[in-house]
Amino acid sequence: MIPEFGHYALILALCIAIIQGILPLVGAHQGRREWLMLARPAAQTVFFLLAIAFAILTWSFYINDFSVLYVAEHSNTQLPVVYRIGAVWGGHEGSLLLWVLLLSTWTFLVAQLSKALDEFMVARVIGVLGLVITGLLLFVLMTSNPFERLFPAAQDGRSLNPLLQDPGLVFHPPMLYMGYVGFSVAFAFAIASLLSGRLDAAWARWSRPWTTAAWVFLTLGIALGSWWAYYELGWGGWWFWDPVENASFIPWLVGTALLHSLAVTEKRGGFKSWTVLLAITAFSLSLLGTFLVRSGVLTSVHAFATDPKRGIFILVFLSLVVGSSLVLYAWRAPKSSLGGKFSISSRETLILLGNVFLVVSAASVLLGTLYPLLIDALHLGKISVGPPYFNSVFVPIMIPLLVLMGIGPWANWKNTNLLAVIKRLWIAGVVAVCAGIFIPMAMGSFTWLSSLGFLLAFWVIASGCMQIIRQAKTGKPTRSFIGMQIAHLGIAVFVIGVTMVGGYQEEKDVRMLAGESVSVGGYQIMLENVSAVPGPNYNAMRGTFLLMRNGKLEATLYPEKRSYFSSSMPMTEAAIDVGLTRDVYVSLGEELPDKAWAVRVYYKPFVDWIWGGCLLMALGGILAISDKRYRIKLRQAST
Quickly count: other Cβ atoms within 10 Å of residue 474's Cβ.
7
Of 73-102, binders to other proteins (CB under 8 A) are none
Minimum distance between the CB of residue 278 and other proteins, rounded to whole angstroms? 10
Whose Cβ is closer to other proteins: residue 41's or residue 386's? 386
Cis peptide before 440 (omega within 30 of 0): no
Quickly count: other Cβ atoms within 10 Å of residue 518's Cβ.
19
Whose Cβ is closer to other proteins: residue 87's or residue 599's? 599
Whose Cβ is closer to other proteins: residue 210's or residue 241's? 241
Whose Cβ is closer to other proteins: residue 330's or residue 442's? 330
Quickly count: other Cβ atoms within 10 Å of residue 553's Cβ.
10
Whose Cβ is closer to other proteins: residue 176's or residue 574's? 574
Cα separation, 585 vs 200, in Å, equals 52
Whose Cβ is closer to other proteins: residue 104's or residue 369's? 369
Minimum distance between the CB of residue 509 and other proteins, rounded to whole angstroms? 6
Site membership for other proteins, residue 388 (CB under 8 A) = yes
Length of the chain: 639
User: Which range, of 21-29, 167-175, 232-240, 247-255, touches other proteins by CB under 8 A?
Assistant: 232-240
Cα separation, 406 vs 456, in Å, equals 9
User: Which range, of 29-37, 152-160, 294-302, 437-445, touches other proteins by CB under 8 A?
Assistant: 294-302
Q: CA triplet 350, 354, 359: central angle to 5 degrees?
A: 145
Among 509, 536, 578, 628, binds other proteins (CB under 8 A): 509
**Helix/strand/coil for 416:** coil
Q: Which of 200, 265, 46, 223 is nearest to 617 (CA)?
A: 223
Site membership for other proteins, residue 442 (CB under 8 A) = no
Site membership for other proteins, residue 329 (CB under 8 A) = yes
- Judge residue 118's burial from the number of C-beta atoms within 10 Å of its C-beta, 0-12 exposed, 13-18 middle, 19 or more buried: middle
Site membership for other proteins, residue 242 (CB under 8 A) = yes
Which phi and psi angles does 524 have, rounded to 5°? -110, 135
Q: Which residues contact 628 (CB under 8 A, 6 or more apart)?
A: 478, 479
Cα separation, 118 vs 195, in Å, equals 14
Site membership for other proteins, residue 315 (CB under 8 A) = yes
Site membership for other proteins, residue 312 (CB under 8 A) = yes
Quickly count: other Cβ atoms within 10 Å of residue 517's Cβ.
16
Site membership for other proteins, residue 311 (CB under 8 A) = yes
Site membership for other proteins, residue 159 (CB under 8 A) = no
User: Which range, of 79-87, 381-389, 433-441, 494-502, touches other proteins by CB under 8 A?
Assistant: 381-389
Q: Which of 88, 19, 26, 92 is nearest to 58 (CA)?
A: 88
User: Which range, of 178-186, 468-476, 535-543, 587-595, touches other proteins by CB under 8 A?
Assistant: 587-595
Site membership for other proteins, residue 318 (CB under 8 A) = yes
Residue 603 bridge partners (DSSP)? 506, 584
Residues that bind other proteins (CB under 8 A): 234-236, 240, 242-243, 273, 277, 280-281, 284, 291, 295, 297-301, 308, 311-312, 315, 318-319, 322-323, 326-327, 329-331, 333-334, 370, 372-374, 376-377, 381-384, 386-388, 507, 509, 568-570, 572, 587, 589-590, 598, 600
